[in-house]
Amino acid sequence: MKTISVVVPCFNEEETIGETLSQLQAFVARQPGYLFELIFVDDGSSDRTLELLRAVTVEDSSMRVLSFARNFGHQIAVTAGIDAAAGDAVALIDADLQDPPEILKEMIQHWEDGYHVVYGVRRSREGESGFKLFTARAFYRLLNWLSEVPIPLDTGDFRLMDRRVVEILRAMPERHRFVRGMVAWLGFNQKALPYDRKRRTAGVSKYPFRKMVRFALDGILSFSSKPLHLSTNLGLIAACLALLGIVYAVVMRLLTSVWVEGWTALMIAVLFMGGVQLISIGVIGEYIGRIYEESKRRPLYTVKESLGFEQHSDAGRTPEVPHVDA
């Protein structure tokens, strides 16, 4: 029998984790043709999430739990689950039940038909604010315009991946991770599966505006060098405007009796040039900061506790060791 690993990142989900466990266990019970392992990654929760997961692990042999030593972020939690997964296919699903577990059955069917990756496309997003919907749509379209690799629109990390894809993904060591973009970059035979995303059953979103902006920057800067080209183009445009201003001033002085005056025009030019320079320096600084982070070669995460695995580990992977010894 083939084994399906289901990776569920969790952060302060004590209000939803019981229902998530119940729905996933019910789904597993309805799939007699497969073996399942449910890998919950506790991303340094400060509530009772880990305590509740411990209790279920004692009773359910399919349960696996990795608990981080601190909060490392959603994408790193997803990465840790992928590292620890042993299945023939690996599915990613969040703990808030906005992505229905029943959709996994269709994903498995498409995987059996020969697709290496089956990813969910959000046809609708119940309970999301107009601002959230607008910014999400704008982000994916901006990302596709900037990226050298086409990334599917309106997708999240909800997907199922073949073992072959997982092994290559595990060998990708970058720290600022944008998993959905990394999977798109890999290629292989991928299929979109439209579905309707539900509202959260309880709790609050773990992606406030600040984290959304940081996540968007990670996606853009990890998959495109176009921001550097744009800063160069802004510099060229500023230089051309300055040259035109110089030519205009010289012509007015030589061919007319009028001096080019204008303290206002001078200040506008200075502020424009200063803005272009600061934007360009900021873009370059973001890329340099990523080079600095990569050069330190620290582990992506540290594991405080692991449950349900044959062996235990207290440290996450480094770029040289692309998996957790779980």
Phi, psi for residue 320 in degrees, rounded to 5: -80, -20
Does residue 162 carry a pLDDT above 90? yes
pLDDT value of residue 99: 87
**201 pLDDT exceeds 80?**
no
Q: What is the mean pLDDT of residues 157-174?
A: 89
CA–CA separation, 212 vs 156, rounded Å?
13
Q: Tokens 């970059």 correspond to what residue?
A: 185
Mean pLDDT to the nearest integer, 92-114? 90
In this structure, what token pair is assigned to residue 132?
């959230």
134 Cβ neighbours under 8 A, 6+ residues apart:
none
Q: Does residue 88 carry a pLDDT above 80?
A: yes
Tokens for 88, please give them. 């023939």
Confidence of residue 326 (pLDDT cuts 50, 70, 90): very low
Q: Between residues 93 and 131, which one has the greater pLDDT? A: 93
Residue 151: pLDDT band (50, 70, 90) is confident
What does the pLDDT look like over 53-81, one tens digit per residue? 888 887 777 888 998 988 888 888 999 99
Query: Which residue would you say has higher pLDDT here, 188 or 271?
Result: 188
Q: Is the dihedral of CA 131, 133, 135, 138 positive or negative?
A: negative
Mean pLDDT of the chain: 78
- pLDDT for 37 equals 92
pTM above 0.95, yes or no: no
Give pLDDT, residue 144.
Answer: 66
Which helix or strand (DSSP H or E) is residue 9 part of? strand 2-10
* CB-based burial label for 35 (10 Å; 0-12, 13-18, 19+): middle
Cβ atoms 249, 260 nearer than 8 A: yes
Q: What is the pLDDT of residue 317?
A: 46
More reliable by pLDDT, 19 or 150: 19
Q: List helix spans (H) across the chain.
A: 17-29, 49-59, 74-84, 103-112, 130-146, 163-170, 179-186, 209-222, 226-255, 263-296
Cα separation, 145 vs 141, whole angstroms: 6
Question: What gap in Å lies between CA 13 and CA 154, rounded to an integer?
Answer: 24
Secondary structure class of 115 (helix, strand, coil) = coil
Other beta carbons within 10 Å of 90? 26
pLDDT reported for residue 264: 58
Average pLDDT of the residues in 243-259: 72
Residues 6+ apart with CB under 8 A from 271: none
Question: In the predicted model, what is the mean pLDDT of residues 161-189?
Answer: 86
Distance CA 136, CA 212 (A): 9
Q: Fill in the amino acid letter for 174.
A: E
Name which of 214, 209, 222 is nearest 175 in CA terms: 222
What's the pLDDT tens digit per position in 294-312?
A: 777 778 888 888 888 864 4
